[in-house]
Amino acid sequence: MILGFLRKAGRSTHAADDPPHVDLDHAGRPIRVALRRVAQARRFTLRVSATTGEVVLTLPRRASLTEALRFADRQSGWIAARLEAVPQIISLEHGAIVPLRDVPHRIVHRPEMRLTQIENREGEFHLIVGGAALHVSRRVGDVLKREAKADLEAAVQKYAAALNVRPSGITLKDTKSRWGSCAASRRLSFSWRLILAPSYVLDYLAAHEVTHLREMNHSDRFWHLLNDICPETERAELWLKINGPKLHRYR
């Protein structure tokens, strides 16, 4: 498939002539590769997102598209191996298991229910969702974001009091590369997916970003302050390093 495209591509060196993506074939498996031209790039590079599985081929601004695609084709085995390691997507639908605060909850759809609620049935937690079936995923997402906001607001308030600082507000996002951030405006942002992790992980991220209100860097003083108010720092960072990418498989 890619060889046929190579003949059409000629030796294009202009972004305007590039398609948004190309499809490789590895052992009968199609692999979609997005194309990006970057002025600062000096060579061809391939990146496979560990969270979404997106494959991106970066080209220097004036590089030959034909040569770039040949490069990608030669690396198709490496791409396929990286894609195998990407966590399988789990849809937030009836019957799925979602780890609310790292505790497995089975999603149960009951059309007659008006409010979403959590039930504990002999040690098995159910997240009960009502309404039309096509709205189950959205409603589950709303519950997770609501719980995340409540936990983060409580944790931020605790650590802000400990450091005698005051954030200007809290925002929930769904970022792929950062779990939290602190803006110059003193507004803190967090991934709502932290509610899927153990509570000490969410607590650590709140402490981390609040500490930036005192130290807008990662200096030794920053880490000293953070470890002083959050003894679980090392444990939480290790958990995120090992398990963080898996939190993005819930869609």
Largest CA-CA distance found in the chain, in angstroms, rounded: 65
Q: How far apart are CA 46 and CA 48, in angstroms?
A: 7
> 3-state class of 174 per DSSP?
coil
Q: Is the pLDDT of residue 11 over 90?
A: no
Residue-range domain boundaries for the chain: 2-84, 139-249
pLDDT tens, residue by residue, 74-89: 999 999 998 888 878 8
| CATH number corresponding to 139-249 | 3.30.2010.10
**pLDDT class for 138, splitting at 50, 70, 90?**
very high
Which pair of tokens denotes residue 62?
């004036």
**pTM for this structure?**
0.76
pLDDT digits (tens, 9 = 90+) for 23-67: 988 888 899 999 999 999 999 999 998 778 889 999 999 899 999
pLDDT at 1: 44
Burial-class residue 112 by CB neighbours within 10 Å (0-12, 13-18, 19+).
Answer: exposed
Side-chain half-sphere of 131: how many Cα atoms within 13 Å?
13
- C-alpha distances in angstroms, 247 versus 103, 173, 198? 13, 14, 11
Residue 108 has pLDDT above 70, yes or no: yes
**Residue in 103, 109, 110 with CA at minimum distance from that of residue 125:** 103
